[in-house]
């Protein structure tokens, strides 16, 4: 990831191993969606208690070799980058899904 000519984030491994799905390699990108996000929150300390942050969100939908799905949601703001995994079809009964390993890291 770059900002201007500066590299902000180097390529790194991503993915999770959950119940019956290894979503750490062999992933196929299905789609990417981008949208602006604005969130407001109340800080517990500081001069400005009510705050609003504007971000750009990108959602990358992946499919594993066995057909399992994983979304990677990335949010970029002026002062940082954050990501999270979403397993959209992993648990149709709503009982939760066990993640045994995360492969996120640096190269």
Residue 24 lies in a domain: yes
Residues spanned by the domain of 45? 2-102
- pLDDT value for 33: 98
Per-residue DSSP letters for 21-73?
A: EEESSS-EEEEEEEEEEEEEEE-SSSS--EEEEEEEEEEEEEE-TTS-EEEEE
For the chain, what is the domain count?
Answer: 1
Question: Is 15 domain-assigned?
Answer: yes
Domain membership of residue 107 (yes or no) is: no
10-residue stretch averages of pLDDT, the chain, 107 residues long? 80 86 92 96 92 95 91 92 82 72 78
């Amino acid at each position: 990831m770059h900002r201007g000519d500066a590299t902000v984030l180097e390529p790194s491994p991503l993915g999770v191993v959950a119940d019956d799905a290894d979503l750490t390699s062999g992933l196929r990108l299905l789609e990417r969606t981008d949208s602006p996000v604005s969130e407001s929150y109340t800080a517990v300390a500081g001069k400005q208690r009510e705050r609003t942050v504007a971000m750009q969100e990108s959602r990358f939908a992946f499919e594993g070799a066995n057909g399992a799905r994983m979304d990677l949601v990335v949010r970029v703001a002026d002062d940082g980058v954050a990501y999270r995994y979403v397993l959209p079809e992993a648990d149709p009964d709503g009982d939760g899904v066990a993640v045994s390993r995360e492969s996120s890291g640096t190269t």
